[in-house]
């Protein structure tokens, strides 16, 4: 019987050295003396080791392999679960093959090299070169390398996921894909694909088991690669739902390849049954629309390799507890344990390919292949409801305006026009069941004028946060999905040199000094505190504005970044060390399922004049709510209270009334405290403070 690939012990006892021309010629020789090399952990990013903390080149690895003798008809495989970015692999001086793609699983047959018991030497040359010209990138690492918040000298290179040996029978499952292509209360369709590698011609029996349903089919295979696709129907399935819509049942899916009755190889996945679709950025799960209250996920820490499974799951639980129902794994592929947690918690996932900025023309085939690899790796997760392609394909330069320049993107470009179409085609051919967002932060352009999701930075790069309301009224197509927002802020811990904090990837120190001038504060701590408060105000205003526009035309949003990958000036809601910023509290308040909102937002009111502010109740619950809204107003006229009672329609926004307030003298404040009560209990609150001008 074949060993279970998921329980095979990882290879340990690794040593490493910086590559030189002479070492490259010698290091794969099994008799090479590596006694002076540095011991290194695998999995890890090599810059986390003191010896290589400042190294940016090619690193050479060696490890000892001790194996038992193979049984008759058994085959032996070497599997890399993650190597950043490219590797050349040798066993006892014999070249085995190469890898490319930091998240891709690579599997090499080594049956003839290690057939009997003994000890051999595994040698790997790992390269992750930096691209000098940001417009000519060749490595598909996305945010993992160039994302906001990362130290400028950070390189995630290394063997950052385990390396294992796997034994199988004469037929091995080389590639495997399982996805729920459709589902409703009556049935669910599971589409499966496998590439079988047979050592010789013969018969293979594939057995599929999931949720009490078993399917068996026989196939004649030739020596070498054999592609097999099949469907499995589940009757009366227990559907998987997003948080707030229902439960999240998950089921073990087992596929075994048998030869002469014995298991030759097997695959295991956890799967859920649901359908997903999107039109004009309005998401439907199981044909029920879902307003996406999302947040962007950067690499959860610089040293993602060492993060514990419990800490990863804790991040997902905190995201759900904050009121978010969706995460966008922005321009990178993270640890699979995070998506496992999303499956269990009902957090929807928009999963991006690690493409960000402009790339050289030579990357097309690699991008297509890694698209297919990502789908093989992740398609069984029910939480993934959309695939994302290329982030900002038109430029590697940071945005300098709150909204995109509509003129800038009218001319076709190779990245957007050729590369992105190739990637989209790979997505659609490999997984036609999920919507694909071809590229992000792309304004409507000729000939289709379709555009995509957009980041809007009102209150940061331009104007006031409240300006988003006028922008939405003028260009509603550009607020269908706002995939980034907010202001940047420094972390609470300022023990790192201020210049270093202001110079991380993606920092916008010029914008910071414009909206929160440092000269008005006595010290760096006061300045940092002011910018964190300002960040919170921008997040509150933007989320509330977009919630009023729910479905008309906004399908959802992503509120900045959940956690900064490292210390520095970022748009994150949490510092890299886990310290919550005031922006997270603001987001939690703005994500209340029942939320009273004054719209359009404004920070000022005309002095000694009466203004009318429109009051809305946003209800993200599925059911109608019988509520009372109480407004306590303190303005030039004194203190007054207004009340409204009625039914707030489920999954909708209800206009309540116009609220009249009167500004006092210039500089005075007007406050409005809003409460939503149900059965005499306060279930939601909101507060506004206006300054007369």
Q: Give the tens place of pLDDT for each residue, 268-291.
A: 999 999 999 999 999 999 999 999
> With 60 as the cut, is the pLDDT of residue 7 above it?
no
pLDDT at 246: 97
Structure tokens at 538: 């921008």
Residue 208 lies in a domain: yes
Q: What is the CATH number of the domain that holds 249?
A: 2.60.40.10
Instruction: Provide the phi-psi class of 638: left if phi over 0, else alpha when psi is between -120 and 50, else beta.
Output: left
Structural domain ending residue among the three candidates 210, 238, 271: 271
Q: Are residues 57 and 121 in the same domain?
A: yes
Single residue among 165, 181, 214 that ends a domain in this structure: 165
Domain that holds residue 185: 171-271
Instruction: Classify residue 111: in a domain, yes or no.
Output: yes
Query: 580: which 2 tokens?
Result: 């919550």
Report if residue 279 sits inside a domain. no
* 277 located within any domain: no
pLDDT tens-digit series, residues 520-538: 999 999 999 999 999 999 9
| 234 has pLDDT over 70 | yes
Q: How far apart are CA 107 and CA 195, in angstroms?
A: 13
What number is the average pLDDT over the span 348-356?
97
Q: Are 563 and 429 in contact (CB under 8 A)?
A: no
pLDDT for residue 6: 42
Task: Label residue 137 by pLDDT band (50, 70, 90).
Answer: confident
List strands edge to edge, sheet with 610-619: 594-599, 610-619, 652-662
What's the distance, CA 168 to chain centroid? 34
* Domain-located, residue 448: yes
Average of per-residue pLDDT across 11-15: 94
In this model, does residue 71 exceed pLDDT 80?
A: yes
What's the CA gap between 62 and 91, in Å, rounded? 10
For residue 297, what is the DSSP state?
A: E
Mean pLDDT of 509-528: 94
Q: Are residues 122 and 239 in the same domain?
A: no
Q: Of 441-450, 597-606, 613-622, 651-660, where does mean pLDDT reach its minimum?
A: 441-450
- Residue 406 is predicted with a pLDDT of 77
Question: Which residue, of 113, 135, 165, is where some domain finishes?
Answer: 165
**One domain for residues 117 and 226:** no
- Distance CA(42)–CA(159), nearest Å, equals 6
> CATH number for the domain including 45?
2.60.120.260
pLDDT at 432: 97
pLDDT band at 305 (very low <50, low <70, confident <90, very high): very high
Spatial separation of the C-alpha atoms in residues 590 and 550, rounded to whole Å: 14
Closest Cα to residue 416, out of 384, 387, 385, 450?
Answer: 450
Is 412 contained in some domain? yes
**Both 618 and 662 in a single domain?**
yes
483 and 359 co-located in one domain: yes
Kindly tell me the burial class for residue 680, based on how many C-beta atoms sit within 10 Å of its own C-beta (0-12, 13-18, 19 or more): exposed
**Rounded mean pLDDT of 351-379?**
96
Same domain, residue pair 133 and 186:
no
pLDDT tens per residue, range 34-67:
999 999 999 999 999 999 999 999 999 999 999 9
329 and 185 within one domain: no
Instruction: Give the span between the Cα atoms of 507 and 690, in whole angstroms.
Output: 30
Per-residue HEC secondary structure of 649-662 comes to: CCCEEEEEEEEEEE
Q: What pLDDT, on a 0 to 100 scale, did the predictor assign at position 404? A: 87
Residue 479 near residue 549 (C-beta atoms within 8 A): yes
Are residues 527 and 430 part of one domain?
yes
Quick one: pLDDT band at residue 654, thresholds 50, 70, 90? very high
Query: Distance (Å, rounded) from C-alpha 201 to C-alpha 204?
Result: 10
What are the pLDDT digits (tens) for 464-485?
999 999 999 999 999 999 999 9
pLDDT confidence of residue 539: 98
Structure confidence by residue, pLDDT tens digits, 368-416 = 999 999 999 999 999 999 999 999 998 878 888 999 887 777 778 899 9
Number of structural domains (the chain) is: 4
What's the confidence (pLDDT) of residue 3? 47
442-454 pLDDT, tens digit each: 888 766 667 899 9
What does pLDDT average to over the chain?
Answer: 94
The pLDDT value given to residue 367: 97
Phi, psi (degrees; rounded to nearest 5) at 87? -140, 150
Tell me, what's the pLDDT at 447? 67
Shared domain check, 176 and 155: no
pLDDT higher than threshold 70 for residue 223: yes
Instruction: Say yes or no: 228 and 356 in one domain.
Output: no
156 plus 37 within the same structural domain: yes
Residues 272, 180: contact at Cβ < 8 Å? yes
Confidence at residue 538, expressed as pLDDT on a 0 to 100 scale: 97
In a domain, 278, yes or no: no
Give residue 64's pLDDT. 95
2: DSSP letter: P
Task: State the maximum Cα–Cα separation within the chain, in Å, rounded to a whole number.
Answer: 93
**What does the pLDDT read at residue 448?**
64
What is the CATH number for 316? 3.20.20.80
Q: Are residues 349 and 489 in the same domain?
A: yes
Number of Cβ within 10 Å of residue 12's Cβ equals: 11
The reply to whether 286 falls in a domain is no
8 confidence band (pLDDT: 50, 70, 90) = low
Question: What is the structure's pLDDT at 50?
Answer: 95
Q: Percent of the chain having pLDDT more than 70?
A: 98
């Amino acid at each position: 019987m074949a060993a279970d690939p998921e329980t095979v012990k990882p290879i340990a006892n690794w040593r490493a050295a910086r590559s030189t021309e002479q070492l490259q010629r010698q290091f794969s020789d099994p008799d090479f003396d590596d006694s002076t090399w540095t011991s290194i952990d695998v999995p890890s990013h090599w810059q986390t080791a003191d010896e290589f903390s400042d190294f940016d080149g090619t690193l050479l690895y060696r490890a000892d392999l001790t194996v038992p003798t193979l049984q008759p008809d058994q085959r032996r495989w070497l599997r890399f679960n993650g190597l950043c970015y490219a590797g050349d692999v040798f066993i006892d001086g014999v070249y085995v093959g190469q890898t490319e793609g930091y998240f891709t699983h690579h599997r090499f047959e080594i049956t003839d090299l290690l057939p009997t018991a003994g000890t051999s030497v595994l040698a790997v040359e790992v390269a992750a070169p930096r691209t000098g010209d940001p417009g000519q990138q060749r490595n598909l690492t996305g945010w993992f390398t160039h994302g906001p918040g990362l130290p400028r000298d950070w390189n995630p290179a290394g063997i950052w996921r385990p390396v294992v040996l796997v034994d199988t029978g004469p037929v091995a499952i080389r590639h495997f894909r399982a996805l729920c292509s459709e589902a409703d209360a009556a049935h669910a369709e599971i589409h499966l694909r496998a590439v079988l590698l047979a050592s010789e011609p013969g018969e293979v029996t594939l057995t599929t088991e999931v949720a009490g349903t078993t399917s068996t089919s026989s196939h004649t295979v030739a020596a070498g690669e054999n592609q097999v696709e099949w469907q499995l129907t589940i009757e009366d399935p227990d559907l998987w739902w997003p948080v707030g819509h229902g439960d999240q049942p998950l089921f073990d899916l087992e596929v075994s390849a048998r030869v002469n009755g014995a298991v030759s190889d097997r695959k295991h996945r956890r799967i859920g049954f649901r359908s997903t679709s999107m039109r004009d950025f309005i998401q439907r799960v199981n044909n029920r629309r879902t307003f996406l209250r999302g947040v962007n996920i950067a690499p959860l820490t610089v040293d993602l390799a060492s993060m514990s499974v419990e800490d990863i799951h804790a991040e997902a639980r905190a995201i759900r507890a904050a009121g978010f129902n969706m995460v966008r794994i922005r321009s990178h592929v993270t640890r699979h344990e995070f998506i496992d947690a999303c499956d269990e918690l009902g957090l929807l996932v928009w999963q991006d390919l690690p493409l960000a900025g402009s790339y050289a023309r030579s990357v097309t085939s690699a991008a297509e292949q890694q698209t297919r690899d990502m789908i093989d790796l992740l398609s069984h997760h029910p939480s993934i409801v959309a695939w994302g392609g290329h982030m900002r394909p038109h430029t590697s330069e940071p945005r300098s305006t709150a909204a995109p320049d509509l003129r800038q993107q009218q001319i076709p470009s190779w990245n957007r026009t050729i590369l992105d179409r190739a990637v989209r085609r790979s997505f659609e051919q490999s997984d036609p069941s999920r919507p694909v967002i071809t590229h992000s932060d792309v304004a409507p352009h000729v000939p289709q004028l379709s555009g995509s999701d957009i980041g809007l930075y009102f209150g940061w790069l331009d104007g006031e946060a409240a300006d988003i309301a006028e922008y939405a009224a003028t260009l509603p197509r550009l607020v269908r999905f706002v995939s980034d927002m907010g202001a940047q802020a420094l972390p609470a811990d300022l023990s790192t040199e201020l210049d270093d904090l202001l110079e991380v990837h993606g920092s916008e120190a010029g914008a910071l000094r414009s909206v929160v001038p440092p000269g008005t504060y006595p010290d760096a701590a006061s300045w940092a505190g002011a910018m964190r408060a300002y960040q919170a105000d921008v997040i509150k205003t933007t989320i509330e504005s977009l919630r009023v526009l729910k479905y008309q035309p906004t399908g959802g949003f992503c509120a900045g970044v959940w956690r900064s990958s490292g210390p520095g000036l970022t748009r994150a809601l949490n510092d890299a060390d886990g310290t919550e910023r005031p922006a997270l509290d603001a987001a939690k308040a703005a994500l209340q399922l029942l939320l009273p909102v004054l719209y359009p937002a404004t920070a000022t009111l005309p002095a000694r004049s009466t203004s009318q502010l429109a009051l809305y109740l946003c209800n993200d619950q599925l059911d109608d709510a019988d509520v009372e809204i109480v407004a306590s107003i303190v303005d030039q006229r004194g203190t007054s209270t207004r009340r409204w009672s009625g039914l707030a329609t489920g999954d909708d926004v209800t206009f309540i009334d116009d609220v009249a307030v009167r500004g006092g003298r210039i500089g005075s404040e007007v406050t409005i405290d809003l409460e939503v009560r149900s059965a005499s209990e306060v279930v939601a609150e909101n507060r506004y403070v206006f300054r007369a001008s």
